[in-house]
Amino acid sequence: MRVGVADTTFARVNMGAIAIDELKRHASVSVERYTVPGVKDLPVACKKLIEERRCDIVMALGMPGGKDKDKMCAHEASQGLIHAQLLTNHHIIEVFVHEDEAENDAELAWLAEQRTREHAVSAIRLILAPKELERDAGTGQRQGFADAGPARR
């Protein structure tokens, strides 16, 4: 299994290194890393990881700022990531941490690490253990903060 890890120099946490660390803990995967300036550079980077460096799945890691303009960049990047998936028939797991989700730098660093690690596990499951995802269907899973849980208990 070959996993692509695309991240940015714009992010304030080394999400790429965290993703690689977590991936290696769970499976014997080879990793292709691709660092770009910002989130809007991620879609084509992910597509190249799939088509030119033959990854089975890619994690797209980014940390959009808190201003309106940054929200728009994140939206444009997300649409591009979905488009790239449709053009390649491969999953790209978007892991975006918005700077304004955290109250301070320490919480931001914690959140970025936690969400990246949990999504790394999802990436592995999508390729190697889809039945585990099916078992968790509809259970209100969240990445980073606490799970919401099922509506009926």
Minimum gap (Å) between residue 28 Cβ and a second copy: 22
Q: Does 146 bind a second copy (CB under 8 A)?
A: no
Of 149, 97, 119, 86, nearest to 20 (Cα)? 119
Of 13, 4, 22, nearest to 117 (Cα)? 22
Q: Which residues in 72-131 contact a second copy (CB under 8 A)?
A: 72-73, 75-87, 89-94, 98, 105-106, 108-109, 112, 119, 122, 126, 130
* Tokens 């991620």 found at: 42
Beta strand spans in the chain (E): 2-8, 30-36, 57-62, 92-96
Nearer to a second copy, 25 or 140 (CB): 140
> What distances in angstroms separate CA 88 from CA 62, 94, 121, one per listed residue?
21, 15, 22
Minimum gap (Å) between residue 54 Cβ and a second copy: 14
Nearer to a second copy, 28 or 138 (CB): 138
Q: Does 30 bind a second copy (CB under 8 A)?
A: no
Q: Which residues in 34-73 contact a second copy (CB under 8 A)?
A: 34-37, 40-41, 43-45, 47-48, 51-52, 69, 71-73
